[in-house]
Amino acid sequence: MSGILIDIVAVAVILGFMILIHEFGHFAVAKLLGVRVEQFAIGFGTRLIGFKKGETDYRINLLPLGGYVKMSGENPMDERTGDPREFLSHSRWHRFLIAIAGPFMNIVLAIGLLTIVYMVHYEHATYMDQPTVIGWVEQDSAAAKIGLQRDDVITRVEGIQNPTWQELIAKIMLSPNQPLSLNVSHDGQTSQKTLVPEATGPSEMGFGGLEPKHVLEVTDLEPGMPADKAGIRIGDVMVALNGKPLLAVGQMIDILKQTKDQPVSLTVSRDGQMKDFTLKPVLDDLGGADSQRYRVGIGSMPTKVIPLSFPEALTHSFDTNKKTSVLILELVEKLVQRKVSMRAVSGPIGIAQAAGEAAQEKGWTPLMELTAAISLNLGIFNLLPIPILDGGVILFLFVESLMRRDISLAIKERVYQAAFVFLVLFAVMVIYNDIRKTGMLP
């Protein structure tokens, strides 16, 4: 099966499942509260297939761009008959429960999926929850410009005291070209510095140019690349390159930029013995002309892989989703403030590529983790206070509760029209950026 076809199938399955879960939340609560549901649809437009059971038409439509649950009297512009089973005949509390049920189901699904994954395969980089001890600073990077050095410890980033590498990396990525206030401990003395991460890559996320201090164990070898051909093994510890102590993968990348395709000598420690290997780097394209660099095919990301008990898995899943939710909301805030590029947002093409890559990885956990991430994003996105979305419905209900009366239909109609235009333009922009990130557009 070709890569594009795998991407299409994977994203269709994932998004179809997400939409089904989301709309089932609305459907189940509406039915429970006695609201008549006329249609339960996946997709929009012309009906392709389906069946009718009771008063509900279960259908799959032509355009696979979402889904909906159509409830009697749901549209404020429709004429109301006063039927107690119409959506607008129910109390605002009932309407709130129906509106929030869809995003709630997506968030619960994200927590549930990660819990299952962690009970089987809890994997995370060993340094991500460790203190931010710097192991390498890239030459001419943002970190180098403010004088950060190996063995420095970042004791504060913005309002976070004693951050972990996970917290620091997240702050850097979400702050391209924006100043970050740091407290740095160097030789027992603490100073305050301001780091301005550079916007890099297709998504223009922040990059600081610093790496954590950790043992450079070989954790990944690309088949057919120079390191694999030379006899390097998983578990080897990289010690030196061309006779110089090797401190970080970033240092290796810098050296290979200078040596280019000239052979290099890599010294590794294996079973307590030092071994030397000669590698001839190759120029590799990592996704566009700007991403070409000389490589040997070695990855060093020491990880812990353990199964967790159900209580531990649930706790870790909840914590992971909570942290991710905060990052998503911070990203939205910075998008509105224009501090982060729209390229940071992935649309259907970007999601399809990620889904295809996850589907081709070994085991089912990568696809489950991606599905959980998409489900969480979908749940939070739908809670944004934008009319047409569930969050917009909740906002209207909140305002009407304060006013103690319904907002006029004329105002709602204008607001819905403006929101529809906004969402269409937003979707076009996201898809355009997706295409640009593939390199098909300048």
133 has which bridge partners? 153
What are the 10-residue block averages of pLDDT along the chain, 442 residues in total? 70 84 95 94 89 92 83 76 86 95 96 94 83 90 93 93 93 93 92 93 88 88 92 93 88 88 93 92 68 85 86 94 92 88 81 78 80 93 91 93 86 88 87 76 55
Give the pLDDT confidence score for residue 286 in this predicted structure: 63
The answer to whether the CB of 60 falls within 8 A of the CB of 49 is yes
Give the pLDDT confidence score for residue 289 in this predicted structure: 41
By CB neighbour count within 10 A (0-12 exposed, 13-18 middle, 19+ buried), where does 259 fall? middle
The answer to whether the CB of 323 falls within 8 A of the CB of 111 is no
Would you say the C-alpha torsion 307, 313, 318, 319 has a positive or negative sign? negative
Give the pLDDT confidence score for residue 287 in this predicted structure: 53
182, containing H or E segment: strand 180-186
**Pairing label, strands 180-186, 189-195:** antiparallel
| Residue numbers annotated as active site | 23
Give the pLDDT confidence score for residue 434 in this predicted structure: 81
Calculate the alpha carbon distances from 44 to 60, 64, 75, 226 in Å. Answer: 8, 7, 16, 50
The answer to whether the CB of 184 falls within 8 A of the CB of 206 is no
Q: Go through the domains of the chain in sequence order and give each one's CATH number.
A: 3-36+72-119+370-437 (no CATH), 134-212 (2.30.42.10), 220-284 (2.30.42.10)
Token pair listed for 355: 């889904």
Give the pLDDT confidence score for residue 439 in this predicted structure: 63
Question: What 3-state DSSP class applies to 156?
Answer: strand
Give the pLDDT confidence score for residue 44 in this predicted structure: 84
What is the C-alpha to C-alpha distance for residues 383 and 391, in angstroms, rounded to an integer?
Answer: 4
Calculate the alpha carbon distances from 340 to 24, 25, 82, 329 in Å. Answer: 34, 33, 48, 13
Token pair listed for 273: 């013995």
